[in-house]
Amino acid sequence: MNIVVLIKQVPDTWSARTLTDSDHTLDRASAEVVLDEINERALEEALKIKEAGQGEVTVVTMGPPRAAEAIRKALSMGADKAVHLSDETLHGSCAIATAKALAKVIGTLGDVDLIIAGNEATDGTVAAVPAMVAEVLGLPELTHARTVTLQGRTVTVERQTDDAITVLQAELPAVISVNEKINEPRYPSFKGIMAAKRKPVSTLSLADAGVERTEVGLANATSTVIESAPCPPRVAGQIVTDEGEGAAMLADYLIGQKLI
């Protein structure tokens, strides 16, 4: 079983996230960055599948040089190797370009059985890259999975959305995206952290991956951000301590605001 996990380094949701003034892209330089939590769950699912049978888990990311830290984390959790598509021209790529470039990188890995991604990244919240990668590769996608079951070459997932649980099935190769409730990702062990240092990481340029320069980057994006501005932060209002009258005071406030 040859499994690829798509991982993305994102600004830590615990830190203040900003857009740059110059081109309105994510300010990756000033942000504290982490491996997106949902990708730890995607990797956990891949490692479970590997451990239940056999195979190899390759993590793939497209991102700036710093994304090497996210790769390191994934390797310490137990991924076998990594491919990092990193090229200055990629800066500001749109979702279509991202999906096409990721598909090209996956194409360099030989016969891939399963591609596992997160259902939504916490920075762009596009929640479509996995389906778009599947579209480019002509593979079935089984998204928002809360469970994944493999039987031979048949994969079945329970897809969880607000209105329904949908049981989806396809034959491998296939693309899966997992939701936040699928599992609890493991922590890297000391042994895992040490082993990660010796695991192979190949860094690809656009040319290495066979991606055309005219297909990616801000200049070739199919959509562009034309302006951005931070919203004024909310300010704290009135805080009272309940000494028997708390609910009445809250009710008075709501009545004053015509909310009840």
Ligand X SMILES: Nc1ncnc2c1ncn2[C@@H]1O[C@H](COP(=O)(O)O)[C@@H](O)[C@H]1O
Taking CB under 8 A as the criterion, which residues in 3-62 touch another protein?
A: 13-14, 16-19, 24, 38
Is position 37 an interface residue for ligand FAD (rule: CB under 6 A)? yes
**Side chain identity at residue 103, one-letter code:** A
The Cα 150–Cα 186 span in angstroms is 21
Which CB atom, from 7 or from 155, has the smaller least distance to ligand X? 7
DSSP 188: P
The answer to whether the CB of 43 falls within 8 A of the CB of 70 is: no
Structure tokens at 236: 């704290």
The Cα 19–Cα 1 span in angstroms is 40
85: Cβ contacts below 8 Å, ≥ 6 apart: 60, 61, 62, 63, 101, 102, 105, 204, 206, 209, 211
Taking CB under 6 A as the criterion, which residues in 6-35 touch ligand FAD?
A: 13
Taking CB under 6 A as the criterion, which residues in 119-148 touch ligand FAD?
A: 122
Task: Provide the 3-class DSSP secondary structure of residue 66.
Answer: helix
Is position 203 an interface residue for ligand FAD (rule: CB under 6 A)? no
Minimum distance of another protein from residue 236's CB (angstroms): 5
Which CB atom, from 83 or from 196, has the smaller least distance to ligand X? 83
Residue among 166, 97, 177 at smallest CA distance from 139? 177
Which CB atom, from 142 or from 196, has the smaller least distance to another protein? 142
| Range in contact with another protein (rule: CB under 8 A) among 52-60, 71-79, 185-193, 222-230 | 222-230
Taking CB under 8 A as the criterion, which residues in 97-126 touch another protein?
A: 99-100, 119-120, 122-126
Q: Which residues would be at the binding site for ligand FAD (CB under 6 A)?
A: 13, 37, 122
Q: Which residues would be at the binding site for ligand X (CB under 6 A)?
A: 6-8, 36, 38-39, 42, 61-63, 98, 102, 117-118, 120-121, 124-130
